[in-house]
A and B are shown apart, each in its own frame.
Chain A
């Protein structure tokens, strides 16, 4: 574990007489990094460091004179309960009154607010928010508590050891003295920062493990929460962009007359990604775009269809790819096997389709750019914007707002929609705030999709029916190639995100080969909630079911045997099966299916019950078991299991983005179908009790549902569906 250095920055706050008006205690934990890493560079915001160990007035926590505890979240709240979780960690060790805790989004800073799992980069993704903050946030809270105690000891002239803290109140029992955090904040700020902090015994936790209320609920039910779409600044203009009809098409002629004739339209601006119409408000900009005439040169445009892409992939899958995992010799074992089983699985392109379509607000002034965004990858975006504007990264100030869903879309290394906004704003009078808004159709056509993947699976069984050889060949675009992540996460040509969930197959099989082809296509692709597992779990967990059927064994029993040495997989598998009543007769046209998968170091098993009538698949009930280490907030975990599964169910049953001659055939929710309430199953969540460090919950439920449902459909109908979305007939 890296050692951090806790710095009291409130003293400098006083000295500098900064804008914060209420005297109080502010603590920052400064990652213990060398001086060279503090030089201005990608993602280092704010003013230059003054003295070693004290960077700028910033922190994870602030206590104001009125006793309000503000936790500064380095992570985005996009629905997963991150603000609540981080605040819980701080408040637990601080012994704060939960009612008095507020959360604020941190500015972009690669050194102060980096994701500890990502090195010098700030960002939220890979279900890491809680996992990487687990110790960091508790230590921030514990240090503040110790300083409050020191302050009270000084003020009351008593021994620090006699002071207790509970629910935001410090007490000295022998003298009967009491004081709230607010009363002691200013004095606490003058105390030396403890060299070491002591964290609570988990047995003493009062907030961790409890169903405490979310911090973002109230403002999201009364309409007060501010998303990027809601930002309004004085003099702000709104832009809508006309994008090329196909990838690779370019502008050959623009006739702006029609657009300019629309009331409120100010400018028509050609930018690299299309033609922007800028107006006083959204509707005017949209009408302007409707009236805009652009002739496109489509001679070099993408012209493939999804079927062609899959055909190409099928050909590729005949040949070995780059090895992602090799155990024994699959080729030899396969060649000598009497009877092999082979199956092909495939998944389509998918759009993230968050409820809030992509949008961004920027204001460019001389030597400064301010951004308002539901910001999933702060320092990467900061670097990209700075590069475009010729600024230093610290001159790009990012306001992190709530995101109306993201599912990975707002974490784009290419910073596509942000740069689009900056390109437009650059053409306006300096200092003009600009909101760029994608319509739903723009969002559906906006690229950065979950790629199409094809899996060719082969196996052969031994005398006991277990697989002695397993071969999985994966074909699909690399998400990371050409991004800054390539150097770290593409190893020997194998993109880890293409093979996660397959290369780490937990089933014990003597001869195992997982390999990968990463063909290139001009379609921009990106991570989509649970990334590689979105397709690997479907292929692996369906195919293992096929093997169980072939062996004439119960799919649960079959998995158990192959997972003997994987207790956490077994734990969730058995719990889900037990709670679901696995094996009970289901009646005509009904079936149960089971699947288990590890992603982001969390383990999830699901049992789905389906009914099939007139070739329509209804998922009636889903029982989920999860092992995510220490359960910080069981209610938030349950919500993520329910919602993550529901998100996966959209892709299992309905969502599909198809290309026809280079054009995307879907545009909005009428044809890019997603789960509706009448299609939502009953859902039960069971959490495995654990003392392991907490792991992610935002993504791990998503990939498990498609195979669970496909397996249930097989149980109900005898038909094996190997393509998503699942369709009968």
Chain B
């Protein structure tokens, strides 16, 4: 049966399920069920493994990526939602906020096991994109969806402030 679906203005037919994605500025044509979570398209089809699987139900934030610059949990986002949008993963994070966050993460040695850190960094960079001078309360609110079992939270808070200072021109 031919069943047309309209998703984000793109026309699909179940029998023709090649999806065109743009990830970190590079185009990928994927032969996938449109309901496949974006996470698995990124990891298993495209082969970018910096975006992590941990909970699968948007409880931990390890899979955070951007769709047109806005953070989403890739584990519950159907890949079809990404069609026509620019997907940014940790491998393609190149915004000034992203770079400031990564530099601060190194400076403060935030990482331990590291598994959640791609998601932490994506969330932190997104926060700084919206709010150049976040308070502790802003940070807690923006970051409470990102779990870290190593509990690197104290350093994450400090590193976000260091990154904010870097963005403001290095004044601390």
Q: Given contacts A213-B109, A669-B59, A677-B143, is CB(A646)–CB(B151) below 8 Å?
A: yes
Question: In the complex, which residues of chain B have a beta carbon less than 8 angstroms from the beta carbon of A696?
Answer: none
* A643 contacts chain B at the CB level, 8 A cutoff: yes
Interchain residue pairs A-B with the least CB separation, the first 10: A223-B50, A646-B151, A404-B115, A220-B114, A79-B113, A79-B112, A223-B90, A230-B49, A680-B153, A678-B140
Kindly state whether residue B54 has any CB partner on chain A within 8 Å: yes
Extra inter-chain contacts (5) besides given A229-B49, A355-B149, A647-B150, CB under 8 Å: A227-B52, A229-B53, A355-B148, A668-B59, A677-B156
With A675-B153, A682-B154 given, is the CB distance from A222 to B147 under 8 Å?
no
Q: Is B130 an interface residue (CB 8 A)?
A: no
Point out the residue from B51, B59, B112, B141 that lies within 8 Å of A80, measured CB to CB.
Answer: B112
Q: Interface residue count for A (Cβ, 8 Å)?
A: 62
Q: Does B139 contact A (CB under 8 A)?
A: yes
Query: Which of B49, B51, B113 touches A405 (beta carbons < 8 Å)?
Result: B113
**Contact between A356 and B54, CB atoms less than 8 A apart:** yes
Inter-chain contact B33/A79, CB cutoff 8 Å: no
Residues A217 and B105 in contact, CB atoms below 8 Å apart? yes
Q: Check if B44 sits within 8 Å of A282, measured CB to CB.
A: yes
24 A-B interface contacts by CB (under 8 A) = A79-B111, A216-B114, A221-B106, A221-B117, A223-B51, A223-B91, A223-B118, A230-B43, A282-B40, A355-B62, A356-B113, A405-B113, A406-B113, A439-B56, A440-B57, A639-B109, A642-B155, A646-B154, A668-B55, A669-B57, A676-B144, A677-B148, A678-B140, A678-B141
Is B161 among interface residues, defined by CB-CB distance under 8 A? no
Chain A window 635-661, contacts with chain B (Cβ cutoff 8 Å), 1 for yes, 0 for no = 110010011111101100000000000
A217 near B115: Cβ-Cβ < 8 Å: no
Bound complex: CA A217 to CA B108 (Å):
10
Residues from chain B with a CB closer than 8 A to the CB of A214 are: 109, 111
Asked if B157 is at the interface (CB within 8 A of a chain A CB), the reply is yes
Q: Are A79 and B114 in contact (CB under 8 A)?
A: yes
Say whether B112 contacts A677, CB under 8 Å: no
Q: Which of A232, A355, A407, A682 has a CB less than 8 Å from the CB of B54?
A: A355
For the complex, what is the distance from the CA of A678 to the CA of B148, rounded to whole Å? 12
Nearest Cβ on chain A to B107's Cβ, whole angstroms: 9
Closest residue to B44 on the A side, CB-wise?
A281
A670 touches B (CB below 8 Å): yes
Complexed CA–CA distance, A81 and B111 (Å): 9
Complex interface bits, B63-94 against A, C-beta within 8 A gives 1, otherwise 0: 00000000000000000000000000111000
Q: Quick check: is A187 within 8 A (CB to CB) of the other chain?
A: no
Contact A226 B49 (CB under 8 A): yes
Chain A: CB-nearest residue to B139: A677
Interface residues of A in 224-249 (CB under 8 A from B): 224-227, 229-230, 232, 238
Q: Distance in Å from the Cβ of A671 to the closest Cβ of chain B? A: 10
Establish whether residues B147 and A676, one from each chain, have CB atoms under 8 Å apart when the complex forms. Answer: yes
Taking a contact as CB atoms closer than 8 A, the residue among B60, B106, B112 that contacts A643 in the complex is B112
Nearest neighbor of A701 in chain B, beta-carbon distance: B151
Chain A residues packing against B (C-beta within 8 Å): 78-81, 213-214, 216-227, 229-230, 232, 238, 263, 281-283, 353-357, 402-407, 437, 439-440, 635-636, 639, 642-647, 649-650, 668-670, 674-678, 680, 682-683
Residue of B whose beta carbon sits closest to that of A529: B149
Are A220 and B146 touching (Cβ within 8 A)? Answer: no
Pair A407/B51 contact, Cβ less than 8 Å: no
A440 touches B56 (CB 8 A): yes
> For the complex, is B8 an interface residue (Cβ under 8 Å from A)?
no
Chain A's closest residue to B112 (CB) is: A79
User: Is B48 interfacial (CB-CB < 8 Å)?
Assistant: yes
Tell me, rounded to whole Å, the shortest Cβ–Cβ distance linking A82 to chain B: 11
Residues of A within 8 A of B51 (CB): 223
Residues of B close to A282: CB separation below 8 A: 40, 43-44, 53
Cβ of B37 under 8 Å from chain A = yes
Give the shortest distance, in Å, between B114 (CB) and chain A (any CB): 3
Interface residues of B in 82-141 (CB under 8 A from A): 89-91, 102, 105-106, 109-118, 121, 139-141
CB neighbours of A79 from chain B (8 A): 111-114, 150
Q: Which residue of B lies closest to A406 (CB)?
A: B113
Which B-chain residue is minimally distant from A283 (CB atoms)?
B40
Please name the residue on chain B nearest to A357 by beta carbon. B54
